[in-house]
Amino acid sequence: MHNWLAPDPVGLHAQARPEKLALVDLASGRRWTYRGLDRAIEQARAAIDTLGLGPGDRLASIARNSADLVIAQQACLRSGLIFTPLNWRLAAAEIDSILIDCTPALILVDGSSAGFAVPDGARLLDIAAFTARCENAAAGERGSPQDANRPCVLLYTSGTSGVPKGVILTPQTLFFTGVNFGVLGQVTSESVFLAESPFFHVIGLVTSVWPPLVQGGTVLVSSGFDPVVTNSRLADRALGITHYFCVPQMATALKDADGFQPENWSLAALFTGGAPNPPANIRWWLERGVAMVDGYGMTEAGTILGMPLDPALISNHAGAVGQAGPATAIRIVDAEGREVQDGTAGEIIVKGPHVTPGYWNRPEERDAAFTPDGWLRTGDIGLRDADGFVTVVDRRKDMFISGGENVYPVEIESVLAEHPAVLQVAVIGVPDPRWGEAGHAFVILSPGCEDAEGELRAHCEARLARFKVPKHFRIVTELPRTSTGKIRKNKLRESLSA
């Protein structure tokens, strides 16, 4: 592994284009030029030092998007800390387990989540108080550049075992995701990104922030998605938004909400991912003058594939997720790891400087995720056409995506199995008109128990994030199984179709 130094695009542009607008907090109206942002990051770094945090410590946040979190992440980058944004929509018990795993020294909160337990040794600080401390801090001398390969971000994602795992990102992985998307998405110093995807996701913290910062563009931070407000912002020529990410369900909400005026948008493209996007839907947007650009990525590797912005190519290859970024090598392989021919489905495996070095406290997960020669197994099945465009035809065996959020059925099954009325349970994802997919639970009740759907739903709601709670419950007397006792979820899907 090369001993590179961490890139610092803000520091570069503070000298190269000091008065260029770098960052805007849309909720408060605060604005920073690159010179001002560079100083704010240095003040935050000084404030963090006064709190007693040092290299390798974790600084967690449980808060909605704000420019303050961007500044905190950049300050961690310069200080050698590990920024760890948590999903504030998780249940308190889920947050507790993540905090136990990452053992943060400092937790920034804004009241979005409550009831979680503060681990021993951790300090809790309201983000407004943290911001005030930063603004009053005196920026000292700039520290030495950090190692580009050390951990600097942890993003938690549920593994196939249902146990959250922290994906390690480094300055190198952040920068090369910025490069990958910057080339695929035609990002320049004039680009303006609306950063609305939550910062506890890679699309929010990395893909919506690093490409514009690398090029000297502008980041507008939104605290969250509201289709009416977002429509207004996209049509506001004074904001001049050129790049916006969303899951397909959010795009549908935009077109169904008041103020939908795509003819007034300044977008180079509407970038989508995180859920299947039917070709008919992509062409619907093209007919209204909006290039809907599908892509493919994951927490472990940021941007991997992306469609070009050319409307003719998008139309001809609608449904594809594009071609590999310049820092990415991909292969499509069979079960034995042999490369398959174009037009044949196989697992997508990835290699490049944007790929995670592994998982926090989970060396066994790293061993399972990578081939012996260092290729990341995505677990997703794709095929490449003769023109080099890749289409994802299936996902991990049981995972489904609800409203852009990855949901692993085993996690839900484990929670339901704790209820005394549940004898056996299996959960699958089924199509849903609003969320793309939603959970459907098949439950065998314990002897003597009556229909308990309401009770089971309440049990899940108390222990899981809302997007993980099954939308449907079906009480059954048996579950189809293989000869070795494994539940045949394909048969459950067929029963619903029947």
Could you give the count of Cα atoms lying within 13 Å of 492 in the half-sphere of its Cβ? Answer: 26
Structure tokens at 420: 């005394």
Continuous H helices in 56-126: 67-79, 92-102
Mean pLDDT of 8-19: 96
pLDDT of 421: 92
332-359 residue pLDDT tens: 999 899 999 999 888 999 999 999 999 9
Q: Where are the domains of the chain?
A: 9-393, 400-497
The pLDDT of residue 197 is above 60: yes
pLDDT value, residue 273: 85
User: What pTM was estimated for this model as a whole?
Assistant: 0.84
- 311-320 per-position pLDDT tens digit: 999 999 998 9
pLDDT at 404: 86
Q: Are strands 58-62 and 400-402 parallel, antiparallel or unpaired?
A: unpaired
* Burial letters 290-307, b for 16+ CB under 10 A, else e: bbbbbbbbbbbbbbbbbb
Interval 438-457: pLDDT, tens: 999 999 998 888 778 889 99
* Mean pLDDT computed over every residue of the chain: 92
Residue 349 tokens, joined: 């495996």
Pick the CATH number of 9-393 from 3.40.50.300, 3.40.50.12780, 3.40.720.10, 3.10.129.10: 3.40.50.12780
- Under CATH, what is the fold of the domain 400-497? GMP Synthetase; Chain A, domain 3 (3.30.300)
pLDDT band for position 215 (cuts 50, 70, 90): very high
Q: Which pLDDT score, from 0 to 100, does residue 364 have?
A: 92
3-state secondary structure of 443: strand
Tell how strand 346-351 and strand 376-384 pair up: antiparallel
Give me the helices (H) in 120-226, please.
Answer: 127-135, 171-184, 202, 210-215
Q: Residues 315-320: contacts with CB within 8 Å, 24+ apart?
A: 315/282, 315/283, 315/286, 317/385, 317/387, 317/389, 318/279, 318/280, 318/282, 318/283, 319/277, 319/278, 319/279, 319/282, 319/294, 319/391, 320/294, 320/385, 320/389, 320/390, 320/391
pLDDT tens, 104-137? 999 999 988 889 999 999 999 999 999 999 999 9
Q: Do domains 9-393 and 400-497 have the same CATH topology?
A: no
How confident is the model over 379-397, as pLDDT tens digits?
A: 888 899 999 999 987 666 6
DSSP 8-class letter at 258 = T
Confidence band for 417, pLDDT divided at 50, 70 and 90: confident
Secondary structure of 327-352 in the HEC alphabet?
CCEEEEECCCCCECCCCCCEEEEEEC
Residue 490 or residue 34, greater confidence: 34
Query: Average of pLDDT values for 77-88?
Result: 96
Least confident range from 7-21, 248-262, 273-287: namely 273-287
DSSP string, 405-432: EEE-HHHHHHHHHTSTTEEEEEEEEEEE
